[in-house]
Structures are given as structure tokens and as C-alpha cells.
Amino acid sequence: MKTYSVRLALAGVLAGALAFSAVAQQKPVGDIGTVDLKEGEKLFKKPGFSPYAGRNYPTVVYWGDTHLHTSMSLDARAGGNTLGPEEALRFARGGEVVAATGEPARLSRPLDWLVVADHSDAMGTMNEIAKGNPQLMTDPTVKQWHDAIAQGGEVGMQAAYDVVETLSAGKIPPVMLDPRLTRSLWERQTAIIEKYNEPGRFTAFIGYEWTSNNTGNNLHRNVIYRDGKAKADQAVPFTTAESENPEDLWKWMQAYEEKSGGSVLAIPHNGNLSNGLMFKLETFKGTPLTKEWATARANWEPLYETTQIKGDGESHPSLSPSDEFAAYETWDKGNLMLLPKKPGMLQYEYTREALKNGLKIEQQFGVNPFKFGLVGSTDSHTSLSTAEEENFFGKHSGVEPNPHRYEHVVMDFQGRKLMSWEMAASGYAGVWSTENTREALWDAMKRREVYATTGPRMIVRFFGGFDFVAKDATSRLPAEIGYAKGVPMGGDLHRAPAGKAPTFLVAALKDPIGANLDRLQVVKGWLDAKGDTHEKVYDVAWGDAATRRPGPDGKLPPVGNTVDVKDASWTNTIGDPELITVWKDPDFDPSLRAFYYVRVLEIPTPRWTAYEAKRFGITMPKEVPMVTQERAYTSPIWYTPGQ
């Protein structure tokens, strides 16, 4: 049987990348190590001071997934996934496992860390029903489910979905709510995760997904612990049986921290499936926002998952009509039940618009609830964290690689359908951390020194300050200069010195076994004096610069396309392996709030559907996209005047 994996690195390509890798891993000149970054940020309000200057700053980017489901998730098990958290962690660490459909699978490049984020609602109970847990068999309804699942085939699958539908409707048999069962399953979960956590080599995070799904409107959050089993076991996960309101999740998080002395954060995702609720400018109950609400959200939700299998959430072409790259892997047909969108919903669903609205709220309350960093993750329900096009195992076990998966209907409601070919092979999270431990990685997430990719492992650096000069882009040690003169992605700039505009050191290196880079872009959003928001995308560096120049309209011509769809291949004869520049905002107004983040685009490459067509010798329908342009999104850097 064939083992699906990403291709091996060519020695020449890898060698060509090492110079920039060394840049990313260089050691600091000085190390005072104990600087408190929050105190440093206060000091940075004084022009010319960086809170990172001289400290032990992050030198390595660690790759992982904040959002992976196993058979412990009710819907994953119903979809045929029989692999538990142990197999998921083994796979992420580089081991081979046999997927639920019988195919051996292995990553050619292991991940550095993983969050097993199984759904908190009825976590593990589908497995217990299937096994015939004696405690559960005392309920006749649950016993009936068990007997049907044991038959297998269509009967068993239908029974599994009946379990999901019954519990989703809130009709949970009391025996399944026994706190002793809930606690025993949670402690079993944390024990497995603890077993695979190896500080310095591989980090296994304890976590779960809280799945608020009010009439199909996605308000899900992934909760990630900084802590180990001893603290995490002090409280079972919060469920939507207790509340659908995110504010109640924040209260649970606060209570957990107070009781255990631990730390947790939450990551929302898929605002594109919330039908306008994820970033709406009112509370869950429809009341006006308050400073207290904004403060709580900013504290508990420092990150947002901006790209994953169920669509890319950076922006939407109707929200960013002048952005030629906004229409990427867009899912916008409705919510999780495909209930159609109404006018005005989209503006409260996407990352860039939320970042802009955050500036408006900050102007009002002095607190920005949408001051979040950006990560990508898979949301795979296969136990396999695969985000690259050529080894994409899909959303759930029913759509693992096979000749007909492109025909599978993911969602179908009143004639509106989402097809499996619309799934996006995305994404991963890059974390700039001082070491590969729970504590260091979690702290980097909390301070937003992270970035998202749609799968490739590009190395991206982004620093902002007021004193970067063009010569800084010629150094082979951009991190040394970046931390000495400014703040990294996720940081803050305050009160521009008289006569100065922000300058940014932007650098990216291609994935060593991936495609060359098309361009680096800085995306800016700002709030004008009238309280209106604006955005602009700047091309700041690009491949083939000697022959490729902006036209009279200021637009950069496309990089080209070397993809051979039939062969699912491409050549790195266009684009550049690395791009680095210093960019100065030409439209800066020191009196206006603003944010900046970097978008990195690769040259076009084959989409997972092209690999599927070649692998199985099939012809895809004309509407199926076969080429993609992978990308990375950094966390923003914010500018605040008058502080």
C-alpha cells in the first residue's frame, strides 16, 4: 500500500535555504533575559526604545496545529475516524499510522507541537457507546445506538449520526451527563497528551474545542492550556450544554485560572460560517458593547485562526474589491447549516474587517477587543494534521484520499451545496519562541508573535519601528536588527517621533521544499478623523524584480505560472527564494490609529485536486480549481497615537 507523504527535499534547494535559516536561528548579542515585555512595551512609548533590545529574543520558528480532532470528538467518530489522540500525536511527531480508511500515512517533516482540540461536548462518549460501556448501557436509547453501531455499514453510520443530531438538539440522555464519566474521560485524554509531551523536542498541548453553534452560526473557540495534567484536571472542560455564550466561556477560563493557578487562552475560528456574528459590534445577547466586554475579549482571545479547511478568512472580495488576492479559498454560502447570508453579515466575518473595527472600538473605549494575532490550523477530524496540497487527508475520514472524494457533498441544505473539492488544504501556525516547551510557545501565542500559513513552512520576519533604514535589509541578521530597533509581529508602536513615519523590516524565505515567492505585501488598515475605516495593500518586494516592474496603474504584473496540471508539477524558474526589504509608510498620519500586517504569496503551484487527479487518473469537472497560490499572514503591528 502506498504511504502518502510530502516529497523529499532536494539537497540543492535545501542548501540554498540554509543561509536564511541561519538568520532565523542566530543568537542575540546580549541577553538580559528577565525583561518583562509588558513593562518593556510601556517603556517603548518613549521614542527610540525597543522592549526586545538586548534580551533573549526568539530565534526559531516552531511549526504546529492548534486545531486537530481525533475519535474522541463526537462528530469525528461518527464520520468513521477510529484514531485516537495517541495516533494523532505519534503522527505529528513523524511516526507512521494507518488512517481510518486503511492507508498508511506519514509526514516527511514532523511538526514541533500539536494541540489535540477535541470537542468538549460529549468528549469520548461515542467511543464508549461503540464499546458498550456498562454505565451507558443502562439507558435504553444509548443501548439501541450501541447495537446499531455494532452492526456496522449504513445502519451503524446512521446510528452514529443519530447520536450527533440528538445531542446537538440538546436531548442528551442523563446517563451521558454523569460527571464521573465526564471526568474519567477527560483525565484519560490528559494522560495521553502528557505522555507525548517532551520539552525541547515536541510539545503536546492540552486543549479542547468549545463548539457554540447557535442555529448553525459558528462561534467555536479552541481553548489551549499553558499547563500540564495536574492543573488541567482540576476542572473538566466547559461545554455548550452549560452555555452558548462566549462571555460565559471567558468566565469559566477566569475561574479555572483562579482555582488552578494555571493559564488558558481561546482561539476563535471560521467567522465566515457565523452569519455575521463572530465580530459583530454587539454582545452575544444583542446588547451594546462595553469597555468591560472589550477588555475581557482582548484578554482571553489573543489569536484568531484565519485560515483552515473550511475556508480562508483573511478577507472577502466584496469587502476588499481593490485587493486582487482577496478571493482565496472562500466559503461564503451560509453558516454551518448553509442558512443563507443576509446583507451586512460579511463585514462581521473576516479578519481584516475585524481588525479595522477594532480600531473604532478602541477609539471609543480605549481597549481593542479585536487586537489578535493570526494563526492557521487544520480543523481536521481525521487525527492527521496534514495541510499541504500533496498529502491532504481532508476534513473527516469519509473524505480521505480516494477517486471519488471530489464528488462528496460536505453540506447540503435546500439546494445549496458545499462540495469536497471546495475544501482548502490549510493551514499551519508558525510560532517564534525561545524554546520548544508549553510555557515558551504559549507565551509567544499570548504576545501574538505568531503567523499563519496555508500549509507551506515559509520563514517570515516582520518588525516595526521608526528607525529602520534601507541598509538594514542587506544584513544576514535581520532579527538582531529587528529586535534592537523595533517590535516584532504582534507588537505595538506608540506616538511617532516628530517628522517620522513607521518603518518596517520585512523578510521571507521560501519553504525549503516548496515554491519560490511571488511577492511581499504590507496590508494597512486605519481609522480616519471622522471615524471611518480604510485599508490599502502595498507591494513592497517581489520576485524577478530586474524584469518585473509595476505598470502605469501602479499594479505589479502577475509572476507567471509554471504549473503542469496534468503532471501536478511546477518549476521554480520564476519568483525568488527569499525577499527582504525595509518599507516606510508613504501615507502615514501620526494622529490616526492604524495596523499593519504582512501577506506573503508563493508562485502558483498545483492544488490538492490536481494531485488527486494525477494519483487516481481521473478528470475533474471544469469548475474544480486545479492551481493555487499559497500564502502566509503575519500577526499585525499596531500604531496608537498620543500614548
pLDDT tens by residue, 467-501: 999 999 998 889 999 999 999 999 999 999 999 99
Q: What phi and psi values does residue 102 have, to the nearest 5 degrees?
A: 100, 0
Predicted pLDDT of residue 410: 84
* H/E segment holding residue 18: helix 11-24
Say if pTM beats, i.e. exceeds, 0.95.
Answer: no
Q: How long a stretch of residues is the chain? A: 643
CB of 189 within 8 A of CB of 118? yes
CB atoms within 10 A of CB 559: 22
- Separation in Å, CA 40 to CA 46, 53, 405, 478: 10, 9, 52, 21
In this predicted structure, the answer to whether residue 502 has a pLDDT above a threshold of 50 is yes
Distance CA 381, CA 219 (A): 18
Give the chain's radius of gyration (CA, Å).
24
Q: Is 544 helix (H, G, I), strand (E, B) or coil?
A: coil
Asked if the model's pLDDT at residue 46 lies above 90, the reply is no
Contacts by 137-143, CB closer than 8 A, 24 or more apart: 138/175, 139/173, 139/174, 139/175, 139/176, 141/166, 141/173, 142/173, 142/175, 142/176
Q: What is the pLDDT of residue 53?
A: 66
pLDDT band at 91 (very low <50, low <70, confident <90, very high): very high
Contacts of 486 (CB under 8 A, 6+ apart): 50, 463, 464, 465, 466, 467, 468, 493, 505
**Judging by DSSP bridges, how do beta strands 113-116 and 60-68 pair with one another?**
parallel
- Identify the bridge partners of residue 419 per DSSP, sorted by sequence position: 409
Tell me the per-residue pLDDT of 295-316, one tens digit each, with 9 for 90 and over.
999 999 999 999 999 999 999 9
* CA gap 369, 361 in Å, rounded: 8
Write the Ramachandran bin of 531: left for phi over 0, alpha for psi from -120 to 50, otherwise beta.
left
pLDDT exceeds cutoff 50 at 383: yes
Q: What is the DSSP letter of 274?
A: S
C-alpha cell at 573: 524558474
Average pLDDT rounded to a whole number, residues 220-246: 97
Give residue 237's pLDDT.
97
pLDDT of residue 45: 45
Per the CB < 8 A criterion, the answer to whether 461 and 506 are in contact is yes
Half-sphere exposure of 444 (CA within 13 A, CB side): 28
- Mean pLDDT, residues 205-222: 94
* Dist. CA 569–CA 400, nearest whole Å: 22
The domain segmentation of the chain, as residue ranges, is: 63-433
Grouping H, G, I as helix, E, B as strand and the rest as coil, residue 132 is coil
What does the pLDDT read at residue 166?
84
Report which residue type is found at 143. Answer: K
Sign of CA dihedral 351, 353, 359, 364: negative
Which residues, including other chains, have CB under 8 Å from residue 125's CB and lie 6 or more apart?
A: 74, 136, 176, 181, 185
Classified as helix, coil or strand, 58 is coil
Q: How confident is the model at residue 617 (pLDDT cuts 50, 70, 90)?
A: very high
Between the alpha carbon of residue 454 and those of residues 25, 396, 425, 631, the distances in Å are 23, 18, 7, 6
Give the separation between CA 263 and CA 253, rounded to whole angstroms.
8
Q: Name the strand (E) or helix (H) holding 217.
A: strand 217-218
Burial class (CB in 10 A: 0-12, 13-18, 19+), 575: buried
Q: In what order do the strands lie in the sheet with 373-376?
A: 311-312, 303-308, 373-376
CB 122 within 8 A of CB 74: yes
CA distance 519 to 410: 34
Position 254 scores a pLDDT of 98
Residues 617, 251: Cα–Cα separation, whole Å: 53
In the three-class reduction of DSSP (H, G, I as helix; E, B as strand; rest coil), residue 127 is classed as: helix
99-143 pLDDT per residue, tens: 999 999 999 899 999 999 999 999 999 999 999 999 999 999 999
Going by pLDDT thresholds of 50, 70 and 90, the confidence category of residue 176 is confident
271 contacts 335 by C-beta, under 8 angstroms: no
- Cα distance between residue 563 and residue 246, in whole Å: 44
> Who contacts 558 (Cβ-Cβ below 8 Å, separation ≥6)?
none
Distance (Å, rounded) from C-alpha 498 to C-alpha 46? 12
Comparing CA positions, the residue from 564, 80, 28, 629 lying closest to residue 328 is 629
pLDDT of residue 328: 97
DSSP sequence for 423-477: -----EEEEEESSSSHHHHHHHHHTT-EEEESS---EEEEEEES---GGGGG-S-
Segment 405-417 mean pLDDT: 85
Phi and psi for 493 in degrees, rounded to 5? -115, 145
Answer for the pair 578, 507: CB distance below 8 angstroms, yes or no: yes
- Cβ atoms of 401 and 421 within 8 Å: the answer is no
pLDDT at 343: 94
Q: What is the pLDDT of residue 51?
A: 65
Nearest in space to 237 (alpha carbons), one of 249, 254, 220: 249
CA distance 193 to 565: 41
Which residue reads 447549516 in cell numbers?
A: 337
| pLDDT of 426 above 70 | yes
Q: Please, what is the average pLDDT of the chain?
A: 90
Q: What's the confidence (pLDDT) of residue 643?
A: 61
Burial class of residue 586 (count of CB atoms within 10 Å of its CB; 0-12, 13-18, 19+)? exposed
CA–CA dist 144, 308 (Å, integer): 36
